[in-house]
Amino acid sequence: MSESRWDVLDWRHQVADLYRAVRAEQDVAEAHRRWVAGRERLLRTHPASPVPVAERAAYDGPPVAPYDGRFRFVVAVDRSVPPQRREVRTGTDGVVPLERVGRVELPGLGGLDVWWVAMYGGGVFVPLKDATSGRQTYGGGRYVLDTVKGADLGGTPDALVVDLNFAYPPSCAYDEAWACPLPGPGNTLTGAVPVGELSPA
């Protein structure tokens, strides 16, 4: 975690550009291919990559499951859920306050809480843990949306895009020096989500 603040800024610019291209692409499978290639390039080459510097030369990118349209949802956010607040201590951002602002129901899978990152600027945060966690995917869970960091698949509160094919592990999956907000009970599914970025075999 020795990257400069300017490297982090550039990383966030590039992530935002990547997701902007994803949202603009009408063919969701092609959008996913672009995302996979973009993520691989950033993780392997960018100075702010969470992949440790000593490992990057040999790093081939994360394994990613083939795109499966059954795991793409455009769903309304139920904003009538009772408020909750979590405060998560992280390695780089101090204590991150999270406020529950809604919940989405994914047909056949269950529900996920939608959180607002209650810091300067704010943003929507939807993490995910499922039956693959600790086996096929990172044990701590994955992120689907983290709009503060540019991971934004689009939509509105009435039609939010929650595409689990774009689930990816947080930075702490690559380097223990990071401490990341992880999914709680309201973001844990009992079924399997075998798409998105997987753990190395």
Count the neighbouring beta carbons within 10 Å of the beta carbon of residue 171: 20
Can you tell me which residue has the tokens 């869970």?
Answer: 141
- Alpha helices, H only, the chain: 5-24, 28-45, 53-56
The Cα-based distances of 124 to 69, 90, 141, 179 in angstroms read: 23, 17, 17, 19
Judged on CB neighbours under 10 Å (0-12, 13-18, 19+), 129 is buried
pTM of the model: 0.94
> pLDDT of 45-100, one tens digit each?
999 999 999 999 899 999 999 999 999 999 999 999 999 999 987 766 678 899 99
Mean pLDDT of 138-152: 96
pLDDT of residue 1: 45
Mean pLDDT of 164-176: 93
